[in-house]
Amino acid sequence: MDATTRFTTERVGALPVIGAYLEKLRLGDIVDEFVPWEGGVPLGTLVEVMVCNRLLNPKAQYKIAEWAARSRICEY
């Protein structure tokens, strides 16, 4: 490593823990199984993103997509 080496850091906070817990609960899978949905993004994924947002950084709902993109929580 020399003086020209650059690092990028990102703050993830509790996101990995919450993500692992939601996976353990199978929340997205359960929502997808029981709720009919024809959207481009699975409804279970949307529910998980909203739960993470409410717990980590509550914003107005119209800003959730921006938060998810910055947090890299969802690839959609």
User: pLDDT tens for residues 30-67?
Assistant: 999 999 999 898 999 999 988 988 888 776 777 777 77
pLDDT at 36: 95
Q: How far apart are CA 73 and CA 57, in angstroms?
A: 13
Average pLDDT of the segment spanning 18-23: 93
Sign of the four-CA dihedral 22, 15, 54, 72 = negative
pTM over 0.75: no
pLDDT at 1: 56
The more confident residue out of 53 and 2 is 53
Asked if residues 64 and 45 have their Cβ atoms less than 8 Å apart, the reply is no
Average pLDDT of the segment spanning 16-20: 90
Residues 6 or more apart whose Cβ sits within 8 Å of residue 20: none
The CA angle 48-52-53, to the nearest 5 degrees, is 115
